[in-house]
Structure 1
Amino acid sequence: MIARRRFGIALTLLFAVQVLIGAAILASLALDIPNAQRAWLREMLLQRAAVWIALSTLLLFALGFGLKALFDAYITPVARLAEDAVLLAANPGHRITVRGARDVRVLVEKLNALAAAHQTLHSDVQEKIELASRALAEEKNRLAALMAELALSVLVCNIDGRILLFNTRARQLLRTGHQGVSAIGLGRSVFGVIESGLVLHALEQIQHQLQDPRDDMAPPVCSFVATLADGQIVRAHMAPVFDSVRALNGFVLTLEDITRHVEADNRRDALVQSLTQDTRATLANIRAAVETIQTFSDMSGAKRTQFTAIIGDESMRLAAQIERAVQQGSNATDSRRELEDMRGTDLIALLLRRIGGPSLRVTAGDTIDATLWLRVDSYALTQALAYLSRRLAADAGVTELRFDLQRADRLAHLDLVWSGAPLPADTLRAWEHAPLPVSAGGLALTLNSVIARHGGESVYRCEPAEGRARYRVMLQAAEPRSAFDIAPPPTGRPEFYDFDLFHQPGQSAEIDQCLISQLSYTVFDTETTGLDPAAGDEIISIGALRIVNGRLLQQETFDRLIEPRGELSAESTSIHGLTHAMLKGQPRVEAVLPQFRDFAADTVLVAHNAAFDMRFLQMLEARTGVAFRQPVLDTLLLSQVIHPHQPGHSLEAIAARLGVPVIGRHTALGDAIVTGEVFLRMIPLLAEKGIVTLKDARDAAQQTLYARIRY
């Protein structure tokens, strides 16, 4: 198209120059002859106008043929030669077709000879790379085998929460409700499966521990409990990952499913409560009978026997209750699995950071036991005490709070102390049972329920002599555990997987300024019943896979067949091979599109002839409620940006130019794989043209001819 435009411009200019030269000659002749001859010349020109027009037309055709020959011999071959020279670097097996004038053909032969030599060197280098890759693959396989054998689920994330590595158990544990589709994948956010507040709270704790100046401090680690979307309860241990200069740039999460343990704890609590109530009633009956016998010492033998029988029956019932409780609670654990060990001073420091503000001054008392460790859910307890502090400041006018922490045998006393008028006990109890404005791990909380989860009690006490009040929370004391440590990797050892993703930019509103080589992509393709969505044609297959850190993740694919509401035409079946029998019983598009949206979340969409696929998705928005708002790149448009002088921009033509094998053509997943390989090879070619950011690519694509096509 560009060559035709240049040819037209050149021909027009050349013809205009010829016409102007002829006109100038005639004008100079007319100026040098008398008026009579000038009139004769004018009359002759007018009489022979048809002849002059015919001569001009012949001149135009002659110039056109000559100019076309010149273009075919030099201009067009040289323009294609520039594009082919770039292709030689991207595809060493590519050879330039010999065409054009003799000098151009000689140049092409020299370039092909140079390309052959380059291919030989490239093959030698590739062989060495393959040897190194096999060695690295062996290391990766060892790591993968080790990760697969771990009993815990393991996730490695960068500082922005993007997943860099996970094992099979993590994939099995962190699943969504969409037909078992995994909710995790390389480059995806861990916040999609674990509440962001819990993760950020743990990161804050680790950073605080790293800033602690004490040399004898255990390696930094933080634990928390989270509730997943399907109701599972997991206990997570977080440990930091450092870069070469010991700066925090990621973290490791180990997850353990403790749902059954928590349920067992709940059953145990219910059992204890039931046993306590029954025991109190039984003991009350026994005590009443004994007191009656003691009070009425002169009662008859029959009455005494009756009360003695009551005592015996109640004693037997109490023994049966205890025996039943022992049997039901024999498998219960002695510890609450949702609580973790934490140093008391760290808890106080966390409370000071979270609660203090302009209207409320918060301090630590002088009686804090620095050796005390607690068994707490630090996130839930901090949120609960922060809520109580806000109520004291807003409703009771408290302006200063002090925290004290002391050991009391096997318990720890955490005190909130403030000065001022005593607070009514009823008001405080109402606050304890009021819902907190936040949740922990997906659970609705109150101050009272948080204290109950810790197996603790609360006591409110006024101290008029000192002019202050004290709210005490009694918690479990604990012995410090050994911290979960990660040894730094030995120097010189190759890095596994995609740990360089620690430096990847996160998805943000400034995504247009991100380098296209560093973004995450979802490459997709659809198969349809026809070409016109407005006329009722439907999507019958979606295939997709992800590109993360410049790698096509063929293990993370999305491949779904969809049962249409209408019939398939014979023409469409002849293209993709899908029949009505193959699609019958498959899920409808209303069920598949939400799955695809989750799979493609936080990525840039890539497709070949993307306008066609996006139009089908757009037509489904009102029906399914699923919208795709992320940026889109089209390999069809990018091909015209890279190779404007090449005649074809079909997926097969582009793949052939770039040396990408075409496998599984006209299946959604097969086309997505080919498109992904093509796109990866386009990235360095775009960089050659100065197109390095997402905005550069989108702006360049919008200037192409194909961008004007609408579906």
Structure 2
Amino acid sequence: MVARTRFVLAVIVLGLLMTGPFVVTALLVWLEAKGPTRALLIEAVAPHLPLGALMTLLGFAVGVAIVRNLFRQYVQGLLRMAENLSLMLVANREFRVQESGPPEVRALARHANALAEQRDALLQDVEAQIARAKHSVEEEKNRLAALMSELTQSVVVCNLDGRILLYNHRARTQFRALSDAPGVADGGELIGLGRSIYGVFERNLITHALETIEQRLQRSKTQAVANFVTTTRAGQLLRVQMAPVLSVGQEGDGERSVTGFILMLDNITRTFETESRRDQMLHSLTEGNRAALANVRAAAEMLEYPDLQDELRARFRKVIRDDVAAMSARLDRTANEFADSLKARWPLEEMLGADLIAAAQRRIEQVVRLPTKLEDVDESLWVKVDSFSLMQALTYLANRLSDEFEVREVRFRLTGAGRLVHLDLIWSGQAMSTETVMSWELEPMHIGDDTSPLTVRDVIERHDGEMWLEREKVRHRAFFRILLPAAVPQAVAEAPVPAEGEGRPEYYDFDLFNWSEKSRALDERLLSELAYTVFDTETTGLNPSNGDEIIQIGATRIVNGKLRRQESFEQLIDPRRDLPEESIRIHGITPDMLSGQPPIAKVLPAFHAFAADTVLIAHNAAFDMRFLQLKENLTGIRFDQPVLDTLLLSAVIHPNQESHRLEAIAERLNVPIQGRHTALGDATVTAEVFLKLIPLLAEKGIRTLRDARHAAEKSYYARVNY
């Protein structure tokens, strides 16, 4: 605006300089001339006035063009250079000023780039020294991170306000099981840096445990812990151990205060249910058999009388038979329940298939004394198995083959079949009937003195596999084929590359950003201190008011000035309407991908919980917020937190740049673009852009949320409504 005012003033001055001397001279001549002289003057000048005016206008136009060109080359060029220099200083060290314009401006750009090169050389030297100084600290940090990630127990560290400061992968997995909508939010609405632990536990429960710890600390100098068991909203039973995070007193006085707490969580729901079933089995076995044993004992004592009548003797024998049969049935039922409890405790772990076969070979040769060989083993295959129970089954089958069919050697074959693995146990000898195979599958496994209540069928079903007998008539061989799940890492699907086309329109309506009390409470907070949810939507079209719907929501979080990539939200949504071809070309989402996905009414509550207690950020946010606003009546969900827009903030920082599209901003700030036109991909790029905008905003005196909001409202794009 200041530059434009200067241009207008320059044009006015040019007009005055071109017409002023002529007008003043003509006025003086007119005043000095009298009567006849004035008439002669008019008669001499009047015929030439149109030509003089035309020449003056042409000269003025040429002068304006020259001033405009000089203004663009020097004033606007220098302003644009100033913005680019700001990028070099703050956001993008690799950026260089383009050497364009008049010679003086090019020389200035050349020297500015040379200074930037010198600056980079100095900074590289400083960074190298800092890197060496931080190396030992980073090593300690990595050791801690490795320890946390490998812990089999869930660990969550919180401050005294209940905000999560640290958690491990096991905790995230466990919180997913506690989520009301694990398929939609993946537990992200419960756990995340900066989130409140009171979304899972009652505040009074944590407060009571903290009070208990503080009382124990006051009585003893040793570190105190508190233990409790609680039930979550999802009905899970958790055993929690709380330990305090203590500060160290000043000057070594030993006084310590609680600055936070550590929660170590165990989900004991299944353990509790298993122990309850085991207790019931033991109770049934003891109490149920006690009465039967008493009856058998009494009947046996009566049978010892020699003069007992035949009718009573038969009756007592019947009592013994019935009670013994009932005891036998009870024992069988208990044994089956115990086998079921064993199967429930089986862990499936990933291991190399060749290692599994090598272990089975050693066990068969040691226990059965049967030679083994390898026929065709693909050493690249991984399987997901319970190795102990599967080796038991293979050893049992080899033992039966050796005892009943006098097999003198078995061979192993391991081949891949897509998501499954074929494990073959091969032998040569006489044919075996299908009935024999079924009987082997269904009988409890006995190998010498080693017995198990489990059957081969139990083991196969536990692995979600199959087993059958096949014959090779030409080679006079047969083999058991066992299908096992392959342990193949899930491939990350590449985001579809959309065809080039127009993106969403850049329009704005500040009625979407009515500030609630929650927003005003954050107004004075520094931008660098706030927690953010950066989100993006993909839609069926560009007209939310005309029936277009959201088909994907993607979001990520910024906490303490850092992008938390692992804390993300990504969900496809069934729009319950047709998907236009032109929108498919942009985002690459097809109707088949949306089939079976949850509707917006189920996804929005989960996303609302994910974004709770944060500031929303989007690029061209009015577009996304309009879709959310139109679903308020349907879902009862209202997003009333503050909203910032990187489109407006970029226009505030760089008013002289021609484009503020996300790609253009990312290029200026040296932010790599991945997964463009996917909701999570765009949200991640927007988050990285916003982090680089924060120091640029600070240079302009925009440091708080209030500053950013007011500056955005005054930008050019904020005046365009729809």
Structure-1-length-normalised TM-score? 0.62
Paired AA for residue 145 in structure 1: A
Q: CA deviation at 1:134?
A: 6.7
Which of 211, 230, 250 is the matching residue for 1:226? 230
SS in structure 1 opposite 2:182? coil
Q: Give the superposed CA RMSD.
A: 4.1
Q: Does 1:256 align with 2:259?
A: no
Q: CA deviation at 1:637?
A: 0.9
Which residue matches 2:175? 174
Q: CA deviation at 1:515?
A: 0.9
User: Runs of 5+ in structure 2 lacking a partner?
Assistant: 250-255, 289-315, 339-517
Indicate how the Cα distance of structure 1 residues 100 and 655 shifts in structure 2: closer, same or farther if over 3 A, else same: same
Per-residue deviation, residues 230-277 of structure 1 (Å, max 9, x unmatched) = 111223232222345444322111223343566689899999999xxx
Q: Does 1:88 align with 2:98?
A: no
SS in structure 2 opposite 1:79? helix
Report the identity percentage. 50
Which residue matches 1:190? 197
Which residue matches 2:485? none
Paired with 1:616 and 1:16, the residues of 2 have a C-alpha distance of 55
Paired with 2:49 and 2:648, the residues of 1 have a C-alpha distance of 49
Paired with 2:590 and 2:235, the residues of 1 have a C-alpha distance of 39
Indicate how the Cα distance of structure 1 residues 597 and 39 shifts in structure 2: closer, same or farther if over 3 A, else same: farther
Which residue matches 1:118? 119
Contact 2:519 2:642 in 1 (8 A): no
Contact 2:621 2:645 in 1 (8 A): yes
Contact 2:519 2:640 in 1 (8 A): no
Paired with 2:660 and 2:626, the residues of 1 have a C-alpha distance of 20
Per-residue deviation, residues 142-183 of structure 1 (Å, max 9, x unmatched) = 223322443432110112211111122322222312134112
Q: CA deviation at 1:11?
A: 2.2
Contact 1:609 1:634 in 2 (8 A): yes
Paired AA for residue 650 in structure 2: S
Paired AA for residue 572 in structure 1: S
Q: CA deviation at 1:521?
A: 1.0
Paired with 1:567 and 1:135, the residues of 2 have a C-alpha distance of 57
Which residue matches 2:635? 624
Paired AA for residue 202 in structure 1: A
Which of 245, 264, 272 is the matching residue for 1:241? 245
Which residue matches 2:703? 692
Q: Does 1:653 align with 2:664?
A: yes
Which residue matches 2:619? 608
- How many residues are aligned here? 499
Paired with 2:624 and 2:221, the residues of 1 have a C-alpha distance of 57
Per-residue deviation, residues 56-111 of structure 1 (Å, max 9, x unmatched) = 53243123112112213321121112111111122121110112332222111111
Contact 2:617 2:644 in 1 (8 A): yes
SS in structure 1 opposite 2:99? coil
Paired with 2:228 and 2:41, the residues of 1 have a C-alpha distance of 103
Indicate how the Cα distance of structure 1 residues 38 and 271 shifts in structure 2: closer, same or farther if over 3 A, else same: farther
Which residue matches 2:685? 674
Paired with 1:586 and 1:44, the residues of 2 have a C-alpha distance of 90
Paired with 1:582 and 1:46, the residues of 2 have a C-alpha distance of 82
SS in structure 1 opposite 2:557? strand
Which residue matches 1:103? 104
Per-residue deviation, residues 589-640 of structure 1 (Å, max 9, x unmatched) = 2222222112111111111111111112112222222221111111111111
Per-residue deviation, residues 439-462 of structure 1 (Å, max 9, x unmatched) = xxxxxxxxxxxxxxxxxxxxxxxx
Contact 2:572 2:597 in 1 (8 A): yes
Which residue matches 2:715? 704
Paired AA for residue 238 in structure 2: V
Spell out the pairing of 1:9-20 with structure 2 (5 A cutoff). Answer: 9-12=9-12, 14-15=14-15, 18-19=18-19
Paired AA for residue 260 in structure 2: G
SS in structure 2 opposite 1:517? helix
Indicate how the Cα distance of structure 1 residues 665 and 272 shifts in structure 2: closer, same or farther if over 3 A, else same: closer
Indicate how the Cα distance of structure 1 residues 54 and 196 shifts in structure 2: closer, same or farther if over 3 A, else same: farther
Paired with 1:41 and 1:196, the residues of 2 have a C-alpha distance of 99
Which residue matches 2:497? none
Paired with 2:555 and 2:590, the residues of 1 have a C-alpha distance of 21
Which residue matches 1:159? 160
Q: CA deviation at 1:21?
A: 5.5
Paired with 1:591 and 1:265, the residues of 2 have a C-alpha distance of 36
Paired AA for residue 545 in structure 1: T
Which residue matches 1:353? none
Paired with 1:222 and 1:557, the residues of 2 have a C-alpha distance of 32
Paired with 2:277 and 2:267, the residues of 1 have a C-alpha distance of 17
Paired AA for residue 223 in structure 2: P
Which of 637, 642, 663 is the matching residue for 2:648? 637
Paired AA for residue 181 in structure 2: H
Indicate how the Cα distance of structure 1 residues 587 and 25 shifts in structure 2: closer, same or farther if over 3 A, else same: farther
Paired with 1:40 and 1:615, the residues of 2 have a C-alpha distance of 75
Indicate how the Cα distance of structure 1 residues 97 and 543 shifts in structure 2: closer, same or farther if over 3 A, else same: same
Paired with 1:706 and 1:6, the residues of 2 have a C-alpha distance of 23
Indicate how the Cα distance of structure 1 residues 49 and 529 shifts in structure 2: closer, same or farther if over 3 A, else same: farther
Paired with 1:250 and 1:243, the residues of 2 have a C-alpha distance of 9
Indicate how the Cα distance of structure 1 residues 218 and 128 shifts in structure 2: closer, same or farther if over 3 A, else same: closer
Per-residue deviation, residues 479-509 of structure 1 (Å, max 9, x unmatched) = xxxxxxxxxxxxxxxxxxxxxxxxxxxx985
Contact 2:552 2:572 in 1 (8 A): yes
Paired AA for residue 244 in structure 2: P
Paired with 2:171 and 2:720, the residues of 1 have a C-alpha distance of 45
Contact 1:3 1:645 in 2 (8 A): no
Spell out the pairing of 1:50-61 with structure 2 (5 A cutoff). Answer: 51=51, 54-61=54-61
SS in structure 1 opposite 2:696? helix
Contact 1:195 1:226 in 2 (8 A): no
Q: CA deviation at 1:706?
A: 0.8
Contact 1:92 1:122 in 2 (8 A): no
Structure-2-length-normalised TM-score? 0.61
Spell out the pairing of 1:378-397 with structure 2 (5 A cutoff). Answer: none
Indicate how the Cα distance of structure 1 residues 17 and 229 shifts in structure 2: closer, same or farther if over 3 A, else same: farther
Which residue matches 1:7? 7
Q: CA deviation at 1:15?
A: 2.9
Paired with 1:564 and 1:239, the residues of 2 have a C-alpha distance of 47
SS in structure 2 opposite 1:199? helix
Paired with 1:270 and 1:77, the residues of 2 have a C-alpha distance of 85
Paired AA for residue 259 in structure 2: N
Contact 1:3 1:76 in 2 (8 A): yes
Paired with 2:53 and 2:213, the residues of 1 have a C-alpha distance of 88
SS in structure 2 opposite 1:602? coil
Paired with 2:696 and 2:651, the residues of 1 have a C-alpha distance of 12
SS in structure 2 opposite 1:194? coil
Which residue matches 1:142? 143
User: Runs of 5+ in structure 1 lacking a partner?
Assistant: 279-308, 331-506
